Amino acid sequence: MQITYDAPVSPKLIRESLAGASSRPYWLENAGKERPAFLDGPDIATEWDLVVVGGGFTGLWAALLAKQRDPGLRVALLEAERVAWSASGRNGGFVESSVTHGESNGRNRWPSEYDQLERLGIENLDQIEATVKELGIDCDFQRTGSLNVAVEPYQERRLLSLDPQAIAPARVLSREEVAKEVNSPVYRAAWYDVRTNANVNPAKLAFGLAKAAAEAGVEVFENTKVRGLGRDGRSISLLTDRSTMTASKVVLATNVYPALLQRYRLHTVPWYDYALMTEPLSKAQLAELGWHNRQGLADLSKQFHYYRMTSDNRILFGGYDAVYYFGGQVRASYDNRPETWERLARHFFITYPYLEGIKFTNQWGGPIDCSTSFGAFFGKGYDGQVVHSAGFTGLGVGASRFAARVMLDMLGREPTELTELEMVRRPPLPFPPEPFTAIGINTAKWAIDRSDHNEGRPNPILRVLAALGLGYEVT
């Protein structure tokens, strides 16, 4: 069965649209002048109350929130490269409220507490918005809501069959209604939710959080890689490439990179995701496109695209391909994948054929930390003095703050609402060692593609994986 994105597009059009595109992430390029400068790590042994490892969103939120909770703490944040240089500076530019990778995944995995997790997710997004305003972080934060668009007849049928009262305040838009929001010949219907999504320039948000943390007294060190942990009396020792540091407590926020607690090394694998950014649209192009409300967009296929309108009227178009490289390695060379950029460009012109002739200024990729639960998980080490979280599977811009709160609560002496969650107390299954991980992932990708070509029906492979708790829900 042919689906919408199987339609042909002129190879010449694709080549010309990508010619001259920079391989640097647009966000980092756009926010370069706002990047704060921090020192490299100390060359001598130092002692801290709390050391946070990782300068992405999870680590930045953990350090800032720790100082806000107790301004007297001596807190250090260590980043192996530069703040936000990885996923936090090269993602899709959206902040979702979900901490469970969507309602379907959340209800399937944590049915008894899903309503609580949904509430906590909405509160978390509200608190991010409030923090951005309170600290005056200029990061193009817009609480625009989201449109999840049907691009196949079966997706349209499913949306139009929903009970409006059961899904309120979200609502379903018909083909005519969605065309008034965003004009595309492939949009057949849409799920419109005004509460659960915001758009953001993620690099500017990360730089703003780093500045706020430093102003609150966090000592931020870049180019300081932690190579291992150990015990030093009652403290935790952190061996960096510059010196040894000791801390009473440690937060590990290393995302897709190998966990410093060995027991969690197989709990995530790196998926590589890719995106394109257009040049600014002209007034005539904007008039034809619509998109005046600037909602976040994604389609409803299992292999889905996500796209956003930036503050300077560019379109970010990403997703669809999720690439796993054998061995689970994270390498700079994997950021470059011309065949995926060409595929995304083809899908872009299928979606917006009247934008023929537009150029892409940026094309980039990067790894996502995927867990078997499709959501963040939590762990402890060294008698509870070290806490760890990873596995955001593409929704970390928002869920990272939630994870930071959880980890800080885990370091406390008393249980809290967050530490008592089943999602927090029970980590997901680890991935198997190679070659079984590569075989399983590539088989699952094939099965997902077949499902999209069969009106979304789950095949036996997806059903088995879901029954084992290894990834994809089958709804």
The model's pLDDT over 184-206, given as tens digits with 9 standing for 90+, comes to 999 999 999 999 999 999 999 99
Determine if the peptide bond prior to 169 is cis (ω within 30°).
yes
Hey, which CATH number is domain 32-134+202-265+373-425, 3.50.50.60, 3.30.1490.190, 3.30.465.10, 1.10.1240.10?
3.50.50.60
Say if residues 110 and 117 touch (Cβ distance below 8 Å): yes
Average pLDDT value for residue range 112-130 = 97
pLDDT level of residue 470 (50, 70, 90 thresholds) = low
Count CA within 13 A, CB hemisphere, residue 261: 25
Give the CA distances from residue 237 to residues 230, 254, 385, 387, 410, in Å, rounded to whole numbers and listed in that order.
5, 17, 11, 14, 19
Give the pLDDT score at 468: 65
What CA–CA distance (Å, rounded) separates 327 from 15?
A: 32
List Cβ<8 Å contacts ≥24 apart for 236-239: 236/51, 236/382, 236/385, 236/386, 238/51, 238/53, 238/78
* Order of all β-strands in the sheet with 360-370: 171-173, 189-193, 146-150, 296-299, 305-309, 315-319, 269-278, 360-370
As a whole-number percent, the residues of the chain with pLDDT over 70 amount to 98
> Can you count the helices (H) and strands (E) in the chain?
15, 19
What CA–CA distance (Å, rounded) separates 142 from 138?
A: 11
Q: Which of 113-122, 274-283, 384-393, 443-452 has the lowest mean pLDDT?
A: 443-452
Structure tokens at 381: 């080490």
Strand partners, 387: 251, 380
Q: What is the CA radius of gyration of the chain?
A: 22
Of 367, 366, 337, 340, nearest in space to 268 by CA: 367
Give the CA distances from residue 279 to residues 361, 363, 416, in Å, rounded to whole numbers and listed in that order.
6, 12, 47
Average pLDDT value for residue range 166-181 = 94
Average pLDDT value for residue range 199-214 = 97
Average pLDDT value for residue range 373-390 = 97
Average pLDDT value for residue range 315-320 = 97
Q: In 216-369, where does DSSP find H-type helix?
A: 283-289, 338-351
Give the pLDDT score at 472: 54
Q: What is the pLDDT of residues 160-172, one digit of tens each?
A: 999 998 888 999 9
What CA–CA distance (Å, rounded) separates 80 from 74?
A: 20
List Cβ<8 Å contacts ≥24 apart for 4-11: 4/151, 4/152, 4/186, 4/350, 5/151, 5/301, 5/320, 5/346, 5/347, 5/350, 7/350, 9/345, 9/346, 9/349, 9/350
DSSP calls for 237-272: EEEESS-EEEEEEEEE--TTSPPSSGGGTTS-EEEE
Of 196, 150, 197, 154, nearest in space to 172 by CA: 150
Q: Hey, what amino acid is at 439?
A: I
Do you know the residue count of the chain? Answer: 475
pLDDT exceeds 60 at position 56: yes
Strand partners, 247: 48, 236
Structure tokens at 100: 């469970």
What CA–CA distance (Å, rounded) separates 396 from 58?
A: 8
Q: What is residue 367's DSSP assignment?
A: E
Give the pLDDT score at 43: 83
Structure tokens at 241: 């490439």
Give the CA distances from residue 249 to residues 205, 231, 238, in Å, rounded to whole numbers and listed in that order.
26, 11, 11
Give the pLDDT score at 471: 59
Q: Please enumerate in sequence order all residues whose Cβ is within 8 A of that of 407, keeping only pairs 6 or more positions apart, or say none.
A: 62, 251, 253, 378, 387, 388, 389
What CA–CA distance (Å, rounded) separates 457 from 451?
A: 5
pLDDT level of residue 447 (50, 70, 90 thresholds) = confident
Average pLDDT value for residue range 360-375 = 96
Q: Which CATH class is domain 4-24+146-194+269-369?
A: alpha beta
Give the pLDDT score at 305: 97
* Residue matched to tokens 């060294």: 382
DSSP calls for 76-101: EEE-SSSTT-SGGGSS-SEEES-SSS
Give the pLDDT score at 109: 93
What CA–CA distance (Å, rounded) separates 353 from 376?
A: 38
Structure tokens at 48: 């801290």
Domains of the chain: which residue ranges? 4-24+146-194+269-369, 32-134+202-265+373-425, 436-467
